[in-house]
């Protein structure tokens, strides 16, 4: 191995034509791996070339953000850390890439910076509720599928959710297979597990 076989972080950004957040996502997803050389983190050019080749095979229509067309990216928004983290872990273990946001404004910021395939949001959150988040998200991403999760379902919120065209409406507590089935349906994938 020579120095030309490795790239610095700045060189990776240029080589992949990606931003730092995208590189971080690829590392988190295990698609590329940094290597510690002395005091510096470097990336194997062969790993980057492998990822580029696989993402080209997925094609531009392969779904997802710029960071990996192989599996969809899901943004989970919930003010309850336990629910948020459980959903993210469940989605990740099922092969999806999951990002999280603690509230509506944070989610809107992330939606403005990255492309997501699915939004899963709590209905009742302090500040901006889930329905307001959906309305604002749809202003910039009208085709973004949305799943609502809520512990406080009302007829009015269910009707508004239907009017907003949500792909799923789940009440807490829910079983994890139901969220995976709803996710698959929202993304147009085969439902991998039984719902109950």
Is the domain of 42 the same as that of 96?
Answer: no
Please answer whether residues 122 and 77 qualify as being in contact, where contact means their C-beta atoms are separated by less than 8 angstroms.
Answer: yes
Provide the residue range defining the domain that includes 163.
73-186
Q: Quick: pLDDT tens for 143-174.
A: 899 999 988 777 888 888 888 889 999 888 88
Which of 17-21, 29-33, 40-44, 50-54 is the least confident region? 17-21
Is the domain of 50 the same as that of 79?
Answer: no
Average pLDDT, the chain: 81
Q: Does residue 68 sit within a domain?
A: no
Q: Would you state the pLDDT for residue 47?
A: 81
Is the pLDDT at 140 greater than 80? The verdict is yes
For residue 18, name the pLDDT band (cuts at 50, 70, 90).
Answer: low
Is the domain of 103 the same as that of 42?
Answer: no
E strands, the chain, are: 6-7, 34-37, 40-44, 73-77, 97-101, 118-122, 146-150, 168-171
Beta pairing partners, 97: 73
Is the domain of 175 the same as that of 101?
Answer: yes
- DSSP code of 189? -
| Helix ranges (DSSP H) in 29-154 | 45-58, 81-93, 104-113, 130-140
Q: Does residue 64 sit within a domain?
A: no
Is the domain of 45 the same as that of 77?
Answer: no
């Amino acid at each position: 191995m020579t120095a030309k076989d490795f790239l610095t972080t700045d060189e990776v950004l240029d080589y992949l034509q990606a931003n730092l957040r995208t590189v971080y996502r690829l590392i988190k997803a295990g698609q590329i791996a940094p290597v510690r050389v002395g005091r510096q983190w470097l990336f194997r050019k062969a790993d980057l070339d492998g990822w580029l080749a696989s993402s080209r095979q997925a094609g531009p229509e392969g779904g997802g953000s710029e960071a990996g067309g192989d599996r969809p990216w899901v943004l989970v928004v919930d003010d309850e850390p336990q629910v948020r983290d459980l959903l993210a872990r469940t989605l990740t273990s099922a092969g999806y890439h999951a990002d999280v946001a603690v509230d509506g404004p944070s989610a809107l910021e992330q939606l403005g910076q990255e492309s997501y395939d699915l939004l899963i949001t709590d209905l009742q959150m302090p500040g901006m509720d889930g329905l307001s988040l959906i309305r604002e998200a749809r202003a910039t991403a009208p085709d973004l599928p949305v799943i609502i999760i809520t512990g406080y379902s009302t007829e009015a919120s269910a009707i508004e959710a239907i009017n907003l065209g949500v792909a799923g409406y789940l009440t807490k507590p829910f079983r994890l297979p139901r969220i995976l089935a709803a996710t698959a349906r929202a993304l147009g994938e085969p439902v991998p597990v039984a719902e109950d």
